[in-house]
Chains A and B, each alone.
Chain A
């Protein structure tokens, strides 16, 4: 049976139309009735419109060619977990009707300066490919990619119906690009800049003034807390006043608490608020002698819809209690930039009964964590970051805080915890008290630290986590670990998809246990561990099923990497050094980053990256 897509005169009707097909052959004077396959394909298309999960769609596309085509025609949301796994052209050839795209670029360890600058992850080729192929594109989500002002210009000019742009941990663009998006994307609903590095250039453009100034906007979410450049506050105030749909507003540091006040009284419908600086430093606009302070507590009290609060940069702690009227409604509170101590923290947290997500600095100490445990019975996600990210003997939070949380917050699903010391007992307790844990990331900052009390390796603690937390999909380990820990992970971590390992392990057996045992492992990132070629080889049967493997400062040799590349031709095996190093590592490879790819080696690899 020939299914003729290009010629043949068949007319393909749009998905939104009825499920009938007409077919004509030009000049023949005859009508062909549709092949039965064509009918079936159209039926499938109309059904597939309702299928949204990308995993289901992937399965559907494997059934047969007909279903493959039908799926390709009806997919509207695209997720590409590694921008180098596939070339843009192949994507635009296959999928014709994309409305939203999510792209991820650099591996996560790039966040910690382990990836050289200029490594790659350029958005430009994607921008141009989509500008041609997807005129109806509405949403773009990018993570860890290099996005230039020109790329933003392409977005601003190419997509008439563009609605949402979310950039996470990206860099390469500045206020010029933002101004273009603000000016041209008249249907913009969402502009979210999350932890991006927005370049500070000689000319800073007043991009906030570039939003349409007449009538109301469609803005629902405006998040620019990572933008260092001051924004024109008057323009921002006017923008907020004419954005009746605005629900999420996250301000940057130059916005003072006084300015915040002016904004929130105009936008009582906000649900997510990120403050700028939380202190009353005098600004230049103030008249001399204007010492009247606004009633911040009353203003916050009027914001009955706010459920998510963040920001609090450069906090003047005496202003912290002004948020108390809001606390009873809060489900999410991010204090991770607020250096407040336990005394300042406790009076506020005790009102936050509904809190589900809580991020903070370790400045709140074990005592503050106890207060969280006492009040936040519904807590699902906890992240504790260090104020001072260095190795010390002691720190403000420890196993005491972890234990308290485990006893008080039984519904905990996700935890990221930085500390200097830990005990197996506390970790084991958490594994038993919080069986719903899906994400467990413990970072004992002191490298190679054993159990503080018993002096033993942390094997039993992490072992208990993988054993008792049966829903665990993400795990980050630290402290002193032996082969035993990895043997537990391999034995029990059957659902683990992401594993981060640093400064642990005895030798190759550890890596072997993980690669052989963790049958769902997708992302493996390892640094500074004594894992070598034989450990690496034991994963050959899995690498095609994984998104990537990262190994830096381990004991993998170039020969070992070559062997992997030889055995797995669809795997891109990149080796490189972090920078010009003084010491020679001999045959050892500094960094190995490998990932599956449907296309050849990437053409944009810099000179220092060798693709085997």
Chain B
């Protein structure tokens, strides 16, 4: 629908003066970009924009438009608003009975040994190292983690590198509860 409204648009500006200032654009999220390409802008929008703006592109986002609070947008997009943490791999660590949750950066550790030691210090409790033969024999607490699929596993089941990429969060359980996870 090309009504060429620009030609008939009234304007109080003097002939030859700059038109409306450029609208700032921000980048869109990738999922939205796919949708944008599917529904391209009609000519009508192009004809109404000012001459001084750059040629109409596939709909660019304008800052703060439409006026929907980012709080609302984030929830609908299912985005977790995590603070900027650089390239770290932060996971939450909870311990049954402790009032504090912690966050640790898995990238900092090179092995299960290092991780366990750090957790011990953090929660001042004894977590035995898992061993294939003995299980968590003798320790009061056991470290478990939630993997990408949402399953709860004992820490130590899989090779370290695989653990680091699949671990979403950690939970230090009482030893007796952990035994049920042994498959």
Q: Which residues of chain A have a CB within 8 Å of any CB of chain B?
A: 109, 111-114, 169, 195, 197, 199-206, 209, 226, 228-230, 232, 253, 281-282, 284, 288, 313-314, 336-337, 339, 361, 385-394, 418, 443, 445-450, 455, 480, 482-483, 500, 502-503, 506-509, 527-528, 530, 553, 555, 578, 581, 583, 585, 588
B102 and A209: CB pair below 8 A? no
Stretch at the interface among B8-16, B106-114, B159-167: B8-16
Q: For B76, give its contact among A228, A337, A448 (CB under 8 Å).
A: A337
Q: How far is the CA of A230 from the CA of B49 in the complex (A)?
A: 47
Q: Does B83 lie at the interface of the complex (its beta carbon under 8 Å from any beta carbon of A)?
A: yes
Closest B residue to A204 by CB, please name it: B101
B32 — which chain A residues lie within 8 A by C-beta? 388, 390
A389 and B11: CB pair below 8 A? no
Chosen A-B contacts, 25 in total, with CB atoms closer than 8 Å, are A111-B70, A112-B67, A197-B81, A199-B83, A200-B81, A203-B103, A204-B100, A228-B80, A230-B101, A232-B99, A336-B72, A337-B72, A389-B68, A390-B59, A391-B66, A393-B41, A393-B42, A445-B66, A448-B48, A455-B3, A482-B10, A502-B67, A506-B10, A508-B12, A555-B20
A446 — which chain B residues lie within 8 A by C-beta? 45
B99 and A209: CB pair below 8 A? yes
Q: For B66, give its contact among A228, A386, A506, A508 (CB under 8 Å).
A: A386
A205 — which chain B residues lie within 8 A by C-beta? 99-100
7 A-B pairs with the lowest CB-CB distances in the bound complex, closest first: A112-B64, A507-B12, A206-B99, A204-B101, A445-B66, A389-B68, A448-B48
CB proximity to A under 8 Å, residues B13-48: 13, 20-24, 28, 32, 35-36, 39, 41-42, 44-45, 48
A202 — which chain B residues lie within 8 A by C-beta? 102-103
Q: How far is the CA of A585 from the CA of B18 in the complex (A)?
A: 11
User: Number of contact residues on B: which range applies?
Assistant: 35 or more
Closest A residue to B18 by CB, please name it: A586
Q: Which residues of chain B have a CB within 8 Å of any CB of chain A?
A: 1, 3, 5, 9-13, 20-24, 28, 32, 35-36, 39, 41-42, 44-45, 48-49, 59, 61-73, 75-76, 78, 80-83, 92, 99-103, 146, 150, 152, 171, 180
B23 and A528: CB pair below 8 A? yes
A201 — which chain B residues lie within 8 A by C-beta? 83
A339 — which chain B residues lie within 8 A by C-beta? 76
B22 — which chain A residues lie within 8 A by C-beta? 583
A229 and B152: CB pair below 8 A? no
B66 and A111: CB pair below 8 A? no
B11 and A506: CB pair below 8 A? yes
Q: How far is the CA of A447 from the CA of B53 in the complex (A)?
A: 15
B12 and A509: CB pair below 8 A? yes
Contact A114/B59 with A339-B76, A418-B68 known, Cβ cut-off 8 Å: no
Closest B residue to A394 by CB, please name it: B39
Q: For B23, give its contact among A112, A230, A553 (CB under 8 Å).
A: A553
Q: Smallest Cβ distance from B12 to chain A, in angstroms? A: 3
A418 and B66: CB pair below 8 A? yes
Q: How far is the CA of A350 from the CA of B81 in the complex (A)?
A: 36
B103 — which chain A residues lie within 8 A by C-beta? 202-204
A502 — which chain B residues lie within 8 A by C-beta? 65, 67
Q: How far is the CA of A232 from the CA of B98 in the complex (A)?
A: 10
B76 and A112: CB pair below 8 A? no
Closest B residue to A391 by CB, please name it: B59
Q: How far is the CA of A418 from the CA of B69 in the complex (A)?
A: 13
Closest A residue to B73 by CB, please name it: A389
Q: How far is the CA of A581 from the CA of B146 in the complex (A)?
A: 44
Q: Smallest Cβ distance from B20 to chain A, in angstroms? A: 6
A391 — which chain B residues lie within 8 A by C-beta? 41, 45, 59, 66
A109 and B65: CB pair below 8 A? no
Q: How far is the CA of A386 from the CA of B65 in the complex (A)?
A: 12
Q: How far is the CA of A109 from the CA of B103 in the complex (A)?
A: 34
Closest B residue to A508 by CB, please name it: B12
A386 — which chain B residues lie within 8 A by C-beta? 66, 68
A253 — which chain B residues lie within 8 A by C-beta? 75
Q: Smallest Cβ distance from A172 to chain B, in angstroms? A: 13
B65 — which chain A residues lie within 8 A by C-beta? 112, 445, 447, 502-503
Q: How far is the CA of A418 from the CA of B68 in the complex (A)?
A: 9
B72 — which chain A residues lie within 8 A by C-beta? 336-337, 385
B71 and A195: CB pair below 8 A? yes
Q: Smallest Cβ distance from B127 to chain A, in angstroms? A: 18
Closest A residue to B28 by CB, please name it: A390
Q: Smallest Cβ distance from A23 to chain B, in angstroms? A: 57
Q: How far is the CA of A63 from the CA of B133 in the complex (A)?
A: 89
Q: How far is the CA of A109 from the CA of B73 in the complex (A)?
A: 16
Q: Smallest Cβ distance from A68 to chain B, in angstroms? A: 40
Q: How far is the CA of A177 from the CA of B96 in the complex (A)?
A: 23
Q: Smallest Cβ distance from B92 to chain A, in angstroms? A: 8
A583 — which chain B residues lie within 8 A by C-beta? 21-22
Q: How far is the CA of A578 from the CA of B23 in the complex (A)?
A: 12
Q: How far is the CA of A392 from the CA of B75 in the complex (A)?
A: 21
Closest A residue to B19 by CB, please name it: A530
Closest A residue to B70 by CB, please name it: A113
For the A-B complex with A197-B71, A506-B9 known, give 8 more contacts whose Cβ atoms are closer than 8 Å.
A253-B75, A388-B32, A392-B59, A455-B5, A502-B65, A506-B10, A528-B20, A530-B12
A390 and B35: CB pair below 8 A? yes
